[in-house]
Amino acid sequence: MDATVTPALPRGADHIAPDCAGQNFYAIDRGLRDLLALYLSPDDFRRLEPHFDRLGALAGGRLDELARIADRHPPVLHPRDRFGRDEDWIDYHSSYREMEKIAFGDFGFHAMSHRAGTLGMDHPLPAVAKYALQYLFVQAEFGLMCPISVTDTSIHLIRKFGSCELKEYLLPKMLSADPATQWKGTQFMTERAGGSDVGTIETVARHEDGEWRLYGDKWFCSHADADVALLLARPDGAPAGTKGLALFALPRRLKDGSRNAYRIVRLKDKLGTRSMASGEILLEGATAFLVGAADQGLKEMMEQVNLSRLSHGVRAAAMMRRCVNEAMVCARTRSAFGKTIIDYPLLRRQLLKITLPTEQALSMFLFAADAMDRANAGARDAENCLRILTPLLKFRACRDNIPVATGAMEVRGGNGYIEEWVQARLVRDAHIGVLWEGTSNINALDIVTRAVGKSGAHKALEAALLKLLDEAAAIPAAFRDRLRQTLDRTMRFAERVAADPAREAHARRAASALYHIASAVLMTREAAGPGADARRALLARLVLEHRLGVQDPLAPEAGEWEREAVEILLSDRSVSVAEIGGLLEI
Ligand SMILES: Cc1cc2nc3c(=O)[nH]c(=O)nc-3n(C[C@H](O)[C@H](O)[C@H](O)COP(=O)(O)OP(=O)(O)OC[C@H]3O[C@@H](n4cnc5c(N)ncnc54)[C@H](O)[C@@H]3O)c2cc1C
């Protein structure tokens, strides 16, 4: 489904499959290009496409080189200065600093959806464009996307809930395009007692000498040296549990320039995201500013969590795309037993297995981003869709990323396990997606218990998907009927699980099914437009058969149609519905 150019082997590197170095990750991504044209206004698409193209080239070029170096030179914490003062600071390798310049300075990721002026636009970028840019960036560098995204989401929270005074103090610094003066944001929630169970938070806020002071111990703090952190703490006398939590903004430096009273005690030695610093923070009476109402802390913080969850889904989609790109290059260049390995049926099936979840995630994140744009414009149904799409994407795309990364590593063979090649890093980085901003269980419970059970948000999603199926008139009616029936069964299954606490153990199954049917409908609709690449409908059928249907492992003939579908999907040629319609007739 992509058009990776087969690179020439470097001189003297016979037999070793090359990687994607030098490719433009925008130019080779047919699905992304088509879907951006579908979701963006023609004017935005025309003005933004040069930036997608530029970032696509950077991601396959300079950014990729920098990411490789930064991963090998993780940040180092210096807890004290030479005079013995607790003036802790973190040293980053110059490669990380150069990536920061590209992200914050050149592209203005942190500010692009908050103000006009980034990338020469006369209005803030739509969510579709912002997440598409994140998707391109992360194909090269994953670690830095945490500080980028959490700065963006911190700005959102301060704009929405901060007092006028706090906005005046923080926003000009946080929105600045000047790296020398810009303040970056982050979010510290997790403590030893609980990441999932945030009601156990022990950090206290005391009102002393007319200001709030924080005392506590934050156990997981990514982007540990950010200039301003949003965090949850319990004001003295507030009730136990989540109800007693308030949201605070914690600046690293006080107004007089001195260091605020908290210390980064240690950096975590992590499996992945090694370019970025995650630490432990001790709050020793640190000055902080209350954000919003003191009894609404968790509710407000959940806005940031949800924005991060969506970005995590995008990051998983991006890493999977990189896996597909790498695997395609290997498959087309590596020889074994006298043939290029892409010619082997088992290898082709393997490629399909990593391509399918990648394309699903692409469709899902752009649909979710579009729902965000429509919700921001006041559409209530889109807001409800986004409510359920966000944890769906976070839950399923992040889980899929793990087998996809392993699968792509295997396509490269032994070299894929060696840290000089990107696959090893992709395997390591993939795993964090199922942990931060809620584990798989926590996201699945959010989907089933709250989004379906309490909010009924699935109904808005169901209505939106049915509408898309009606619009996909070019696709054979029998196939669309099958999708409608599966959609109905999935929604009713999710409702049954939500209605009965005894069925809680099925929450992940229900969440997966919701994700799969939504992606199958989206891909069907995407295949139906004039001039569209109808291969996406074949992917929709594969989702139905493999991710929602029951397979008899002892009946190979049941999958005969797949051989033809695989040929079409792995070719560089897009097709019309007329050419593949027969493969959609069940
Ligand atoms: C590298 C890294 C960086 C991080 N950065 C940050 C950060 O910047 N800010 C921040 O606030 N946090 C951060 N985190 C913390 C992360 O969000 C938490 O680790 C995560 O939410 C899980 O919490 P926990 O570790 O306390 O595990 P627990 O909550 O103890 O979970 C343990 C297991 O129990 C399961 N479980 C818990 N409750 C239920 C339930 N009701 N039903 C079923 N299963 C359940 C979970 O799914 C999990 O499998 C980071 C973590 C890592 C690894």
Cα–Cα distance, 136 to 50 (Å, whole number): 13
Please name every residue paired with 282 in a beta bridge, in sequence order, or none if there are none: 217, 263
The yes-or-no verdict on residue 2 having pLDDT over 80 is no
What is the position in ligand 1's atom list of the atom closest to the CA of 221?
Answer: 8
Q: Is the CB of 196 under 6 A from ligand 1?
A: yes
Q: Which backbone phi and psi does 249 adopt, to 5 degrees? A: -105, 125
Structure tokens at 492: 């009713």
Calculate how far, in angstroms, residue 553's C-alpha sits from the geometric centre of ligand 1.
36
CA-closest residue to ligand 1 atom 42: 441
pLDDT above 70 covers what percent of the chain?
Answer: 98
Query: Which is more confidently placed, 179 or 368?
Result: 368
What whole-number distance in Å separates Cα of residue 319 and Cα of residue 327?
12
Q: Is the CB of 154 under 6 A from ligand 1?
A: no
- At residue 558, the pLDDT reads 63
**Which atom of ligand 1 is closest in space to residue 271's alpha carbon?**
1
pLDDT on residue 105: 95
Q: What are phi and psi of 462, to 5 degrees?
A: -60, -45
Q: What is the pLDDT of residue 7?
A: 73
- Between 15-19, 198-202, 372-376, 422-426, the lowest mean confidence (pLDDT) is in 15-19
Which ligand 1 atom minimizes the distance to the CA of 278?
Answer: 3
pTM: 0.97
- The strand pairing partners of 246, in sequence order, are 233
Query: φ and ψ at 554, to 5 degrees?
Result: -105, 15
Non-local CB neighbours of 387 within 8 Å, separated by 6+ positions: 451, 455, 457, 460
% of the chain residues with pLDDT over 90? 91
Using the predicted structure, report yes or no on whether residue 586 has a pLDDT greater than 90.
no
Task: Tell me the CB-side half-sphere exposure of residue 55, using CA atoms within 13 A.
Answer: 26
Query: 570 CA distance to ligand 1 centroid (A)?
Result: 38
Mean residue pLDDT of the chain comes to 96
Distance of CA 314 to the CA centre of its chain: 3
pLDDT of residue 489: 98
Give the single-character DSSP code of 253: B
* pLDDT value at 126 more than 90: yes
Hey, which of 146, 436, 504 would you mutate to test ligand 1's pocket, going by the most ligand atoms within 8 Å of its Cβ? 436
Phi and psi torsions of 222, nearest 5°? -75, 155
pLDDT of residue 581: 85
Confidence of residue 3 (pLDDT cuts 50, 70, 90): low
Mean pLDDT of 335-342: 96
Decide: 441 in ligand 1 pocket, CB within 6 A: yes
Q: Whose CA is nearest to atom 37 of ligand 1?
A: 196
Query: Which candidate, 368, 360, 271, places its Cα nearest to that of 320?
Result: 360
Indicate whether residue 220 lines ligand 1 (CB < 6 A). Answer: yes
| Contact partners, residue 206, CB within 8 Å, separation at least 6 | 212, 213, 215, 235, 236
* The predicted structure's pLDDT at residue 517: 98
Residue 289 reports pLDDT greater than 80:
yes
Q: How confident is the model at residue 4 (pLDDT cuts 50, 70, 90)?
A: low
Q: Give the DSSP per-residue string, 43-63.
A: HHHHHHHHHHHHHHHHHTTHH
Q: Contact 212/290 with Cβ under 8 angstroms?
A: yes
Element spanning 357, H or E: helix 345-376
Q: Is 163 in the pocket of ligand 1 (CB under 6 A)?
A: no
- The answer to whether 327 and 413 have CB atoms below 8 angstroms apart is no
pLDDT band of 129, cuts 50, 70, 90: very high
Look at ligand 1, atom 49, and give the residue with the nearest C-alpha.
439
**DSSP secondary structure, 190-218, as one string:** -BTTBSS-GGG---EEEEETTEEEEEEEE
Pocket test for ligand 1, best of 191, 220, 268 (most atoms within 8 A of CB): 220
CB of 147 shorter than 6 A to ligand 1: no
Quick check: CB of 149 below 6 Å from ligand 1? no
Q: What is the pLDDT of residues 538-553, one digit of tens each?
A: 999 999 999 998 888 8
Mean pLDDT of 327-348: 96
Under a CB-based contact definition with an 8 Å cutoff, are residues 288 and 373 in contact?
no
Question: Ligand 1: which residue has its CA nearest to atom 44?
Answer: 441
The mean pLDDT value for 330-344 works out to 96
Q: What letter represents residue 140's amino acid?
A: A
pLDDT of residue 106 exceeding 70, the answer is: yes
**Shortest CA distance to 97 belongs to which of 87, 109, 89, 105?**
105
Query: Whole-angstrom distance between the N-terminal and C-terminal Cα of the chain?
Result: 23
Which pLDDT tens digit goes with each residue over 35-83?
999 999 999 999 999 999 999 999 999 999 999 999 999 999 999 999 9
Q: Which atom of ligand 1 is nearest to the CA of 272?
A: 1
Q: Which two tokens stand for residue 62?
A: 């300079």
**Burial class, 459, CB count within 10 angstroms (exposed 0-12 / middle 13-18 / buried 19+):** middle
Ligand 1 center from residue 350 Cα (angstroms): 32
Is residue 214 within a helix (H) or strand (E), and if so which, with residue range? strand 211-222
Which atom of ligand 1 is closest in space to residue 150's alpha carbon?
8
Q: What is the pLDDT of residue 551?
A: 81
What's the CA angle centered on 371, arms 123 and 492, to 5 degrees?
A: 175
CA–CA separation, 256 and 341 (whole Å) = 64
For 474-527, the pLDDT digits (tens) are 999 999 999 999 999 999 999 999 999 999 999 999 999 999 999 999 999 999
